[in-house]
Amino acid sequence: MHVSLSVSPLVRSACLIAASVASLSGCVVAAVGGAALGGAVVISDRRSTGIQLEDAQIEHRVNSALNEHFSRESVRIDVTSYDQDVLLAGQVPQEKDRTDAEALAAAAENVHHVTNELAIGSMGGLSNQAEDALLGSRVGTTLLGVKGLPPGVVKTSATLGSVYLFGKVSAAEADLAKQSASRVSGVKRVVALFEILTPEEFAKYPAQKP
């Protein structure tokens, strides 16, 4: 099996400390064996600190369940949790594997919803995880410089050339993030999994400056 592992809780804790004394963009970490940017507690994230930490634990629980179920080198599954909704991205050999992975994720403690982006196919010829980690890093860095998009409000991950965007954002922020991510070299497609805030909800968040 080749299930992508999220950043460990220990690493996330270190990033939390770093984030409290560093910039608003928080601690930027490429997931071990995976392809995530900013997999740590970020001060400017619109999730509460408690939910960010819970998302880290959810990723750990789902990865553990997948590791126990699948044989080594048989699948590639990247796990991302945002606001207790889980994304599964990658590739598995057959439909049963896809169904099993979704069921395992859905059964994990405190998971509200699972988005299953797993493709069916051979593991041969897949882009390696280091390339995806680099792509996710480029997208995240690009988003940090987008005017009108506060740093830290969008979480990104990349798997097999697809970039996934998460966050509690306004409609305008969502459009900015999608357009900016799509222009990054190497991005094959952009999948937005945003929670779009109403004007009333958006007004509750303090204005953030770059």
Q: What is the pLDDT of residue 172?
A: 97
User: What are the backbone dihedrals phi and psi of residue 160, each rounded to the nearest 5 degrees, phi first?
Assistant: 55, 35
Q: What is the mean pLDDT of residues 21-37?
A: 32
**Count of beta carbons in the 10 Å neighbourhood of residue 25:** 18
Over residues 6-19, the mean pLDDT reads 37
What contacts 148, CB < 8 A, 6 or more positions away? 172, 173, 176
Lowest-pLDDT range, 28-37, 178-187, 196-205? 28-37
Which contacts of 106-112 are long-range, i.e. CB under 8 A and separated by 24 or more positions? 107/65, 108/58, 108/61, 108/62, 108/65, 109/58, 109/61, 110/54, 110/57, 110/58, 110/84, 111/58, 111/62, 111/81, 111/84, 111/85, 111/86, 112/83, 112/84, 112/85
Looking at the predicted structure, is the pLDDT value of residue 173 above 70?
yes
pLDDT at 74: 87
Residue 2 in this model has a pLDDT that exceeds 70:
no
For residue 43, what pLDDT is reported? 86
pLDDT greater than 60 at residue 17 = no
How large is the average pLDDT for residues 106-121?
97
Please give the tally of structural domains in the chain. Answer: 1
Q: Worst-scoring range by mean pLDDT, 12-21, 73-82, 126-135?
A: 12-21
Quote the pLDDT of residue 128.
80
Confidence at residue 124, expressed as pLDDT on a 0 to 100 scale: 67
Q: Is the pTM of this model over 0.75?
A: yes
| Owning domain of residue 164 | 1-210
Q: What is the mean pLDDT of the chain?
A: 83
Residue range 134-138: mean pLDDT, rounded: 96
pLDDT of 183 > 60? The answer is yes
pLDDT band at 127 (very low <50, low <70, confident <90, very high): low
pLDDT, average across residues 88-109: 97
